[in-house]
């Protein structure tokens, strides 16, 4: 006889509403620009707010030395108490270095930050992830304001509720779901970003366009030449629409903390995360996502989930913007005789928990969840991709 589950003695139910503003502005540390100051004062206008400023080394290195003084001066002029400024190593290295969060924790302890103090994080997705994680665990959460400085940060990672660091060779193995206090996208930062990082960041916009918004995808496709040249107003428009689509998904999906098994915005990411690890982060996250999108588009075509023409459109768009659709790491063969990258499928499932759920491409602008992956056909899709990339290389 099946055991019946007794009713609970108490049933605890709590609803928490999360709200954070996202501002688009320019020159956030110009004294005349009150966006950041107003964002910090939004809950308590009168108190003297204590702020720790964290800045990505990549940002500091590409700006005139006076920029740092200007940023420091900003807090003074707006009646905010800047307690310290710390420059953090940028890029994936800051998420791979186990000592980095520890050093930041020690610093925040020494400064005596409390739960009403602010951490203003100015940097790329990697710095936002690492520093956002530390801010989320100090006193179980100090207020973090994100100022993303890369295309990827402004179009995707800065918008959401996730942070984290890599450990044991696994992407984002340690982290939390925590909403930021506010997000400020400053377009001026994108002008110092190198071409490689600008193009890489566009992969996340193509990803969300492919699974959510046909019109956006067609716009990107039509503007591939100017995007490939990193033309500023087009890049800014893509950033804005991508940010909007990511925000909309997080708000309306019904699962902002990813308690279920699905993660539609991670289309192409099972392969991307594995490729990042296999290449020891030689590939940028956005570049690995581009290759992941290409594999899953071909696989979707191969399995009849979408028409072959849809997969072709996806691959052509990525390549015409200058994103990679191939990396030789895909040639690595595992002990089972299959491409080693396929181990990323189980690792992806493990990260999410529950049943395997992958998002595939059903049509341009429409994703579809599947719960099994045929490894042989996935390997065939990778072989097809190789041939495709070779043809492009030869063209
Ligand atoms: N939390 C999330 O929801 C989420 C979502 C997507 C991606 N991510 C993560 O984001 C990370 C990738 O972020 P990314 O693409 O921004 O790259 P990145 O943070 O690795 O930065 C790339 C390089 O650009 C430099 N840089 C940053 N801003 C600059 C500027 N304005 N001018 C010149 N150089 C600058 C950095 O120092 C670094 O060397 C990955 O770790 C990825 O896993 C997180
Ligand atoms: Zn991503």
pLDDT digits (tens, 9 = 90+) for 45-92: 677 789 999 999 999 999 988 899 999 999 999 999 999 999 999 999
Q: Tell me, in angstroms, the distance from the centre of ligand 2 to residue 116's CA.
A: 30
> In this predicted structure, which of 144-148, 251-255, 317-321 has the lowest mean pLDDT?
251-255
Atom 14, ligand 1: residue with shortest CA distance: 125
Q: 193: Cβ below 6 Å to ligand 1? A: yes
| Average confidence (pLDDT) over 125-141 | 98
Q: 126: Cβ below 6 Å to ligand 1? A: yes
pLDDT, position 301? 97
Q: 59: Cβ below 6 Å to ligand 1? A: yes
| Average confidence (pLDDT) over 120-143 | 98
Strands 143-148 vs 170-174: parallel, antiparallel or unpaired: unpaired
Ligand nearest to the CA of 289: 2
Atom 25, ligand 1: residue with shortest CA distance: 58
Is it the case that residue 227 has pLDDT exceeding 90? yes
Q: 129: Cβ below 6 Å to ligand 1? A: yes
d(CA 246, CA 208): 7
Is it the case that residue 9 has pLDDT exceeding 60? yes
Asked whether the beta carbons of 198 and 227 are under 8 A apart, the reply is no
Asked whether the beta carbons of 343 and 169 are under 8 A apart, the reply is no
Is it the case that residue 393 has pLDDT exceeding 80? no
CA dist 13 → 9, 10, 16, 283 (Å): 13, 10, 10, 44
| Average confidence (pLDDT) over 15-33 | 96
pLDDT, position 191? 96
At 362-384, the pLDDT tens digits run: 999 999 999 999 999 999 999 99
Which pTM value belongs to this model? 0.96
| Average confidence (pLDDT) over 143-170 | 96
At 112-131, the pLDDT tens digits run: 999 999 999 999 999 999 99
What values do phi and psi take at 334, rounded to 5?
-85, 180
pLDDT, position 395? 47
Alpha-helix runs per DSSP H in 82-150 = 93-96, 99-110, 125-137
Mutate to test the pocket of ligand 1, among 157, 176, 185 (most ligand atoms within 8 A of CB): 157
Residue 146 is classified by DSSP as E
Strands 366-370 vs 358-363: parallel, antiparallel or unpaired: antiparallel
pLDDT, position 292? 98
What ligand 1 atom has the least distance to the C-alpha of 273? Answer: 43
Atom 43, ligand 1: residue with shortest CA distance: 285
Ligand nearest to the CA of 153: 1
What ligand 1 atom has the least distance to the C-alpha of 192? Answer: 32
Asked whether the beta carbons of 358 and 208 are under 8 A apart, the reply is no
Q: Tell me, in angstroms, the distance from the centre of ligand 1 to residue 265's CA.
A: 17
Is it the case that residue 286 has pLDDT exceeding 50? yes
* Proportion of the chain above pLDDT 90, given as a percent: 87
In this structure, is the dihedral angle defined by the CA atoms of residues 194, 195, 196 and 200, taken in order, positive or negative? positive
pLDDT, position 259? 81
| Average confidence (pLDDT) over 133-147 | 98
Mean pLDDT (the chain, rounded): 95
To the nearest 10°, the Cα dihedral for 296, 298, 303, 309?
Answer: 120
**Of 314, 330, 294, 290, nearest in space to 363 by CA:** 314
At 324-363, the pLDDT tens digits run: 999 999 999 999 999 999 999 999 998 888 889 999 999 9
What ligand 1 atom has the least distance to the C-alpha of 204? Answer: 6
Atom 33, ligand 1: residue with shortest CA distance: 193
**What is the CA angle 375-284-21, rounded to 5?**
105
pLDDT, position 253? 85
Q: 276: Cβ below 6 Å to ligand 1? A: no
CA dist 225 → 151, 198, 212 (Å): 17, 14, 23
What is the number of other CB atoms lying within 10 angstroms of the CB of residue 194?
12
What is the number of other CB atoms lying within 10 angstroms of the CB of residue 114?
11
Q: Tell me, in angstroms, the distance from the centre of ligand 2 to residue 375's CA.
A: 23
Q: How confident is the model at residue 1 (pLDDT cuts 50, 70, 90)?
A: low
Is it the case that residue 394 has pLDDT exceeding 60? no
What ligand 1 atom has the least distance to the C-alpha of 189? Answer: 31
Atom 34, ligand 1: residue with shortest CA distance: 58
pLDDT, position 258? 82
Q: Between these two residues, 264 and 176, which has the higher pLDDT value? A: 176
Contacts 24+ apart (CB under 8 A), 217-224: 217/313, 217/317, 217/364, 217/365, 218/364, 220/317, 220/321, 221/313, 221/316, 221/317, 221/320, 224/317, 224/320, 224/321
Q: 241: Cβ below 6 Å to ligand 1? A: no
pLDDT, position 351? 81
Q: Which residue bears the tokens 């702020």?
A: 51
What is the number of other CB atoms lying within 10 angstroms of the CB of residue 378?
23
pLDDT, position 391? 87
To the nearest 10°, the Cα dihedral for 287, 291, 297, 301?
Answer: 160
194, two tokens: 């190198």
* Proportion of the chain above pLDDT 70, given as a percent: 99
What ligand 1 atom has the least distance to the C-alpha of 92? Answer: 20
Is it the case that residue 192 has pLDDT exceeding 60? yes
To the nearest 10°, the Cα dihedral for 126, 347, 324, 246?
Answer: -60
């Amino acid at each position: 006889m099946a055991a019946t589950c007794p009713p609970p003695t108490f049933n605890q139910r709590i609803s928490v509403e999360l709200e954070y503003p996202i501002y688009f502005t320019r020159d956030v540390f110009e004294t005349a620009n009150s966006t950041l100051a107003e964002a910090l004062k939004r809950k308590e206008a009168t108190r003297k707010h204590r702020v720790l400023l964290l800045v990505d080394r990549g940002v500091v290195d590409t700006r005139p030395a006076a920029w740092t003084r200007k940023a420091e001066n900003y807090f003074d002029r707006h009646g905010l108490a800047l307690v310290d400024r710390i420059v953090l190593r940028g890029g994936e290295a800051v998420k791979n270095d186990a000592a980095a969060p520890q050093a930041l924790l020690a610093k925040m302890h020494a400064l005596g930050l409390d739960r009403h103090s602010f951490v203003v994080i100015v940097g790329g997705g990697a710095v936002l992830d690492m520093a956002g994680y530390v801010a989320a665990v100090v006193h179980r959460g100090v207020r973090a304001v994100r100022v993303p400085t890369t295309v990827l940060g402004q179009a995707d990672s800065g918008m959401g509720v996730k942070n984290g660091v890599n450990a044991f060779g696994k992407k984002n193995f340690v982290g939390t779901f925590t909403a930021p206090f506010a997000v400020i996208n400053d377009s001026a930062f994108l002008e110092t970003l190198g071409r490689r990082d600008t193009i890489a960041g566009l992969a996340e916009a193509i990803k969300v366009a492919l699974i959510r918004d046909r019109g956006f995808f067609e716009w990107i496709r039509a503007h591939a030449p100017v995007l490939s040249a990193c033309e500023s107003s087009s890049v800014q428009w893509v950033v804005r629409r991508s940010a909007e689509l990511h925000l909309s998904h997080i708000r309306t999906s019904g699962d902002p903390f990813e308690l279920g098994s699905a993660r539609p915005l991670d289309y192409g990411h099972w392969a991307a995360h594995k490729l990042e690890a296999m290449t020891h982060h030689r590939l940028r996250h956005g570049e690995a996502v581009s290759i992941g999108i290409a594999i899953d588009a071909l696989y979707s075509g191969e399995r009849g989930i979408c028409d072959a023409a849809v997969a072709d459109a996806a691959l052509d768009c990525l390549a015409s913007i200058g994103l990679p659709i191939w990396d030789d790491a895909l040639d690595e063969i595992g002990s089972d005789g299959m491409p080693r990258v396929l181990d990323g499928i189980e690792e992806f499932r493990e990260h999410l928990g529950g049943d395997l759920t992958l998002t595939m491409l059903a049509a341009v602008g429409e994703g579809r969840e599947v719960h099994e992956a045929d490894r042989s056909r996935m390997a065939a899709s990778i072989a097809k991709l190789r041939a495709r990339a070779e043809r492009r290389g030869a063209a």
